[in-house]
Structure 1
Amino acid sequence: MKKMILTFSTGLLILAAHGQQTQGRVVYERTLKIHIDMEGMGEAPMRPMPSTHKDKWEVLFGNNQSLRRAVEDDTPEEMTEVPDGGPRMHMITPGENEITYHNFTTGQTVEQLEFAARNYIITDSIPHRNWKLTGETTTILNYPCQQAIAQLIGKRRMTSVENGEMKSQEVADTSRIIAWFTPAIPVPAGPEYQGELPGLILGLEVGDGRVIYQAVEVTEQADLAAVKAPSKGKKLSAREFEAEREKMLEAMQKDAKRRGAVLRIGG
């Protein structure tokens, strides 16, 4: 049988046979750790808040392309509040209205983001990190998987409440990404970091466990007509979007005390 040799950034080699699955649908369960700093809230009691939040995502892949989007969930909105006029909080999970498209032939990624009730289209190139194979293996949904790790260097947003006022700021973030991918499906798709590994990602741990994805279903059938770049929204570069978002966040923070604090989790 002929073999296809895939080179990796570390110089290691992976063998994948021809004729394997190259299209399908994956459903992932995402678990987000919740962190909030409530300094300045005094002695007002608050109902216990959950330490994690779970939701589901799907990835459709085929024709050397992929599409990632949230799976609709009828679970009631999670919220908590402080009695006697304290701030009422509802949880907004990162990316819940996001659609991400990748074209692995052109190396292009297109994101549709919703922020402050506005849609944005962000076009960029697929980044490449220095992934390293550890030699560790496991099985997920009967697929043999290999472990790869990379360092995540960037920023993440922290939200705190001080003296009744919500504050949000970006902080430096250096952590580790752990991915489990299967060469049995030689498509570089996944819930995040698409286009970077020589196989479908079935398990992913980001930011030392702050975000965890676990595949719960893999099928060979997919609506490939849906795998296309989104186009609904204001078109901006990544840098332009970040600048606009910062301005809008400042305005939202000024109004947070009157409306009630918004708790963002997992990012």
Structure 2
Amino acid sequence: MKKIILLTLLLSTSMFSQNFTGKATYKTHRKVDLKVNSGKGAPNSDIQEKLHAQLMKHFQKTYTLNFNKSASTYKQNEELSSPQVQTDGIQIQIGGSGAGTDILYKNIADKKYINKTEISGKRFLIKDKLENLNWKMTGETKNIGNYTCYKATRTRKETRSSVAMTDGKTEEKKEEITIETVAWYTPEIPISNGPEQFWGLPGLILEVQDGKQTIVCTEIVLNPSEKIEIKEPTKGKKVTQAKFDKIIEDHTIDMMERFKNRRKSKDGNSFHIEIQG
């Protein structure tokens, strides 16, 4: 019996050597609250249901996390999709770049990240430090696939900004909200990494419930036959996360102003749409 246990330990140590790599596939979805205030020209309930269904589908994405012991890249899988949601003449523009262009690089050893992203054809390199997420362990467990996972939680406060349009007038709202995050990680894959900006637990994170967003791992391949190369993104205008957040805010306001200036209604009909989540 001792020889069998020793053999198992040796195999486990070999699998997670310094040179080991892996690939994890994640699927995301998000709850969306679509609020439409009634008024002249407001869409009926059937159209609102169609819009809601299309928005839900828009947020269903598939990503791949390539990782080794100390670093990773996280990238959306290529798919045929449009950044616009349109139903019966109503069109909603959703910010963000196309699939396959954004790359999030995380270096756990150096506690830094580089996020390559694009806005309106402009490429940015967001370079900053990884946030210490201050996870709280709960001891609760559950199985995800063949892996035993443990639950960790955290809460954070953030100021959420939104821009809404009513009767051609833009209105910016800011509110402080508390967001709870639940993560499930497995020590059976002993790397302190996970999807998006999540990291800092003693095992790969396989599931995240972050506010209204859910991220679930659907497949893991350890030491795949094809070679995995993890490289830092290098092309783009270098900015900090705070600077990029300001760019996003200005871009959103600019888009709303352009929409307001183009919007012409022959009969004066108008309505108010607000998307939360």
Whether the TM-score (by the shorter chain) exceeds 0.5 is: yes
Worse-matched range after superposition: 106-115 or 178-187: 106-115
Letter in 2 for 1:28: Y
Q: State percent identity of aligned pairs.
A: 24
The aligned counterpart of 1:141 is 145
The residue aligned with 2:60 is 54
CA shift for structure 1 position 229: 1.4
User: Structure 1 pair 77/112, CA: closer, same or farther in 2 (3 Å)?
Assistant: closer
SS at match of 1:224: coil
Cα distance, 1:42 vs. partner? 3.2
Name the residue aligned to 1:27.
25
Q: Pick from 204, 208, 214 the counterpart of residue 204 of structure 1.
A: 208
1:116 to 99, 109, 120: 120
Query: Which of the numbers 80, 89, 92 marks the counterpart of 2:92?
Result: 89
Look up the match of 1:190. 194
Cα drift, residue 43 of structure 1: 4.4
Structure 1 spans left out of the alignment, 5+ residues = 3-16
How far apart, in 1, do the equivalents of 2:256 and 2:82 lie? Answer: 26
Note closer, same or farther for the CA distance 1:177–1:252 as it changes in structure 2 (3 Å cut).
Answer: same
Mapped to 2, the partners of 1:77 and 1:95 lie a distance apart of: 7
For 2:75, the equivalent position in structure 1 comes to 69
Gaps of 5+ in 2: 7-11, 264-270
Query: Could you tell me how far apart the structure 2 residues matched to 1:88 and 1:237 are?
Result: 32
Structure 2 residue corresponding to 1:245, chosen from 233, 248, 256: 248
Secondary structure in 2 matching 1:50: helix
- CA deviations 1:242-262 (Å, max 9, x no partner) are 23333322222211235579x
Matched letter for residue 230 of structure 1: P
The 3 A distance-change label for structure 1 pair 93 and 250 is: closer
More displaced stretch, 56-65 vs 96-105: 96-105
**Which range moves more in the overlay, 38-47 or 246-255?**
38-47
Q: Which shows bigger deviation, 112-121 or 44-53?
A: 44-53
Asked if residue 154 in structure 1 is aligned to residue 154 in structure 2, the reply is: no
| Residue 20 of structure 1, CA deviation | 4.7
**Secondary structure at 1:184 match in 2:** coil
Instruction: Quote the offset at 1:161 in angstroms.
Output: 3.2
Q: CA deviation digits over 1:148-206, x for unaligned, max 9?
A: 00112223343433224555544322121000000000111211343311111111000
Contact 2:142 2:148 in 1 (8 A): yes
Q: How does 1:159-178 map to 2 (within 5 A)?
A: 159-165=163-169, 167=171, 169-178=173-182
Structure-2 separation of matches of 1:250 and 1:234? 21
- Structure (1 or 2) with the greater strand fraction: 1
**1:93 touches 1:266 (CA, 8 Å); kept in 2?**
no
Aligned Cα root-mean-square deviation (Å): 3.0
Report the equivalent of 1:256.
259
Distance 1:19 1:265, change over 3 A: farther
Change (3 A) 1:186 1:20: farther
User: Deviation per CA, 1:28-48, whole angstroms, max 9, x where unpaired?
Assistant: 110012234333653432512
Query: Which structure carries more helix by proportion?
Result: 2
How many angstroms does 1:23 deviate by?
Answer: 2.0
Contact between 1:124 and 1:237, CA under 8 Å: does it hold in 2? Answer: yes
Select 1:80's aligned residue among 71, 83, 86: 86
Deviant stretches of 4+, over 6 Å: 263-266
Measure, in 2, the Cα distance between the counterparts of 1:61 and 1:156.
31
